[in-house]
Structure 1
Amino acid sequence: MTASPLPALPPAPPLALTMGEPAGIGGEIAARAWAALRETGPAFLFLGDPSLLGGVPHQVVESPAAATAIFPAALPVLPLPLAAPVRPGRPDPRNAPPVIAAIERAVALARAGEVGAVVTNPIQKSVLTATGFPHPGHTEFLAALAPGGGPPVMMLTAAGLRAVPVTIHQSLRSAIESLTVERIVTTGRATAEGLRRDFGIAAPRLALAGLNPHAGEDGTMGTEERDIIAPAIAALRAEGIDARGPYPADTLFTPQARAGYDAALGMYHDQALIPVKTLDMHGGVNVTLGLAVVRTSPDHGTALDIAGQGRADPGSLVAALRLAAELAAHRRRESP
């Protein structure tokens, strides 16, 4: 019996790309990403000051509706003027309000269905914090703007690997102290749901890393595997989630091991991120699962040290735009 074809989707709306830190490389890689994608798509529009684009052909638009038709010839821009002149590599707190406004506008457009997803250029968190920004970073701000019913989860993906850190921006000592059964279960549950909803994986397979060398070696090198990670795996399996482990982290990311799971959960930041960045430093993508909107971003920072020098590699942003379009299509197909 031949399977019925999937229903055709209406034309995809463009993506929204925020400007990020004006003194960083956001404008430069946006311009280069447009040059790389103008003929093939996905179409996107830039939310920010056109002066950041370095003279690339662009056209100011009043709404995203015109962006797709314009995209092959010029980068569509929803203008958000900066308050102070930009000096590459030297952030100015006076420009923090339009940086924040770009994120807010992008999320509002995504929630209204006018854009398909939000792609964020890197921000300089310390600059925003100095102006009273109350959130630790992008992820927490996006969770406040577009809550998805659960905690947001950071996933890094590159070269076929998807990795999720259970604890993120904490010292290693703090991460170990904060590791609990509940935290692992919450992260695993959100990861499985994100893989189903956004990646179209009907029955996600999760592999969980151990915390200690050799995954604790039966308690002789640590007991977190026995006392925390294994009970969390059992709880996830009781919910019908295919969770496995804990596995020694030093063998979890080999090609043979990666073939056996859809996402790996690391217990701390570097355990999950080092493999992704080693596989493809310039093609990694940061995905936030658990939001009401699709959000991706390049897997790098503002690169203030090379801003304005014409050296920035747009590869990670191009990958983030392409992945955002794919995830948005999955979500649109699953929407009632």
Structure 2
Amino acid sequence: MTKPIKYHASSQSSLIAVSWGDPAGVGPEVILKSFPRLPKRLRCKLTVFGSLSYFRGLERRLKTGVDIVDASANIPDKRDVLRVADVVDLKFSQKNFGKIDRLSGKAAMTGVEKAVEAVCDGRFGALVTAPINKEAVNLAGYRIAGHTEFLSEALGGVEVAMMLSSKKLSVVVATTHVAIRDVPGRLSRKKLTGLLKLIHRSLVKFGVKKPRLAVCGLNPHASDGGLFGDEEKTIIAPAIKAVRGAGVDASGPYPADTMFTPRALSGYDVAVAMYHDQGLVPVKALSFSKTVNITLGLPFVRVSVDHGTAFDIAGKRRADATSMIHAIKTCDQILNGKFRV
């Protein structure tokens, strides 16, 4: 996108736009495999933004029995077919699977852009994204670190956060795709205060009445009183105090090595980690393939799978669709006010 897109949907649709991901990866495969395993009520709400010819060719290889139709055709709302918005013109062959390629990166992002436009103009109420390859999309000219950052920029720089959620654990990270050495410099009292308020506000909007937030320390043992850094004292604790005064149920900072035990998990709804792996390692260890990525702060619902393009198995018909199924169902739950953490 060359300029920010405006969200001007007058009412929230129950329909879900799905971006197809990198065609050289497993995104299209998990979309197609997930379709027969979803309730018919939900199947009728989906439209995939990608290449119609690609999906028809993929269906012939996978033999899912899914009827794939052009979304621009006059299709009855309740007809049980996979609607594909044919927004990408891409010549693709089996030999392209598993390869980092500029054209595949461009095709992936075109699917995202067109799906976002459709959500923002009110045709759809929510967005589900299949995985992109960051190297491929950067080769295609997109200077982004991932979907979360791209969506923030596309919506004019709105404040967003990434929440990984499963039935066992939900985690938000204060910093996303940055080098470990840069994490302390990316943290501030103001930013963390804003993040905690954003999490609280988003969860209430999703239907969680009184969300409880547990905040990790940055340093080992939450610094042990300043022995291993002082970010807990100078940044994290003051931010927690500030939001508690504004009505947010936040506590901490807690040592990360004891925050994810079964006993600790029962005491909060969402963990707030200071950096990517501090939060994503425990949630994926507990619930890999059953975790979804939810972007907080957008004017619409966006949910994604918890895995990448998996180039090592792309085109081999081995991809597991479980996370995509959870992503689509979670999206529907949020739209209907039934999401729980």
Same-fold status (TM-score > 0.5): yes
Q: Which moved more, 1:214-223 or 1:231-240?
A: 214-223
Q: Give the 3 Å change call, closer, same or farther, for CA 159–230 of structure 1 in structure 2.
A: same
Displacement after TM superposition at 1:111 (Å): 2.1
The residue number in structure 1 matching 2:175 is 167
Letter in 1 for 2:192: I
Deviation digits for residues 127-185 of structure 1 (CA, Å, limit 9, x no counterpart): 121121133321122123335x8411000011231101101111111112322112211
Correspondent of 2:48 among 46, 62, 72:
46
The residue number in structure 2 matching 1:76 is 83
Q: Give the 3 Å change call, closer, same or farther, for CA 11–169 of structure 1 in structure 2.
A: closer
Correspondent of 1:100 among 91, 99, 109:
109
- Write the mapping of 1:196-211 to structure 2, written as runs, cut at 5 A: 196-198=204-206, 200-211=207-218
The residue number in structure 1 matching 2:22 is 21
Displacement after TM superposition at 1:110 (Å): 1.7
Q: Distance in 2 between matches of 1:321 and 1:135?
A: 24
Correspondent of 1:318 among 306, 318, 325:
325
Q: Does 1:34 align with 2:35?
A: yes
Q: For the aligned residues, what is the CA RMSD?
A: 2.3
SS at match of 2:252: strand
Q: Distance in 1 between matches of 2:321 and 2:249?
A: 36
Whether the 8 Å contact between 1:67 and 1:76 is mirrored in structure 2 is no
The residue number in structure 2 matching 1:279 is 286
Whether the 8 Å contact between 1:233 and 1:244 is mirrored in structure 2 is yes
Whether the 8 Å contact between 1:21 and 1:302 is mirrored in structure 2 is yes
Aligned length: 318
Structure 1: any 5+ residue segments left out of the alignment? 1-9, 332-336
TM-score (norm 1): 0.88
Q: Which moved more, 1:58-67 or 1:250-259?
A: 58-67
TM-score (norm 2): 0.86
Whether the 8 Å contact between 1:58 and 1:77 is mirrored in structure 2 is no
Q: Distance in 2 between matches of 1:67 and 1:193?
A: 37
SS at match of 2:171: strand
Q: Which moved more, 1:264-273 or 1:125-134?
A: 125-134
Letter in 1 for 2:301: V
The residue number in structure 2 matching 1:247 is 254
Displacement after TM superposition at 1:275 (Å): 1.1
Q: Distance in 2 between matches of 1:102 and 1:67?
A: 24
Whether the 8 Å contact between 2:302 and 2:331 is mirrored in structure 1 is yes
The residue number in structure 2 matching 1:309 is 316
- Write the mapping of 1:259-274 to structure 2, written as runs, cut at 5 A: 259-274=266-281
Percent of paired sites with the same residue: 37
